[in-house]
């Protein structure tokens, strides 16, 4: 079941993010609360009453200091920036990521959003994310170093209309 995230889900979201922060980025309670407050779309997936996955996206003009979000925001246009999508380790390969993206696409369509944007780690390469986003029609529109030069990301977009 996919549903809107509530403030009561933030502890579960934080736990899931901690599992994968080596490929997302660290969050603490305060930064997650701020990010949740800035988000235009934050949904969770439940299985057997437990939050097992989440997705969070922001619209242009958010007060968010991510260099990747700022890169897209500076380009202008109408977009949803997928800041993070996380599926718990125990729930991998069950189609939850694809289901969350399909839900996001339906939301974007209802809102008349013209593109989805995100970044994928390319140095070091996040093989799963790279393949997933390529299969979903995301194409590279730029690259940039992040994390003090320890990582490089591919900035990607999927044009919807």
What digits encode the pLDDT tens for the residues 2-60?
999 999 999 999 999 999 887 788 899 999 999 999 999 999 999 999 999 999 999 99
Name all domains of the chain by residue range, CATH numbers in brackets: 2-117 (3.40.630.30)
Report the alpha-carbon distance of residue 153 to residue 43 in Å, rounded. Answer: 24
**Confidence grade of residue 74 (pLDDT, cut at 50, 70, 90):** very high
Q: Measure the N-to-C terminal CA separation of the chain; round to a whole number of Å.
A: 28
Q: Is the dihedral of CA 8, 118, 106, 95 positive or negative?
A: negative
Whether residue 20 contacts residue 52, with contact meaning beta carbons closer than 8 Å, is answered with: no
pLDDT in tens, 77-124: 999 999 999 998 777 788 899 999 999 999 999 999 999 999 999 999
Mean per-residue pLDDT, 130-150 = 94
Peptide bond into 124 cis (omega under 30): yes
| Choice between 26 and 144, residue whose per-residue pLDDT is larger | 144
């Amino acid at each position: 079941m996919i549903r809107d995230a509530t403030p009561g889900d933030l502890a579960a979201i934080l736990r899931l993010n901690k599992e994968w922060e080596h490929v997302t980025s660290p969050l603490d309670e305060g930064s997650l609360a701020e990010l949740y407050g800035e988000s235009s779309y934050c949904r969770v997936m439940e299985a057997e009453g437990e939050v097992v996955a989440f997705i969070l996206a922001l619209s242009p003009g958010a007060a968010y200091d991510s260099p990747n979000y700022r890169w897209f925001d500076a380009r202008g246009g109408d977009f949803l920036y997928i800041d993070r999508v996380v599926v718990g380790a125990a729930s991998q390969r069950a189609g939850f990521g694809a289901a969350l993206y399909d839900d996001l696409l339906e939301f974007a369509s209802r809102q008349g959003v013209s593109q989805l944007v995100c970044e994928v780690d390319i140095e070091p390469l996040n093989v799963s994310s790279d393949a997933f986003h390529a299969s979903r029609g995301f194409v590279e529109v730029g690259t940039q170093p992040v994390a003090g030069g320890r990582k490089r990301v591919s900035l990607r977009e999927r044009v919807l209309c």
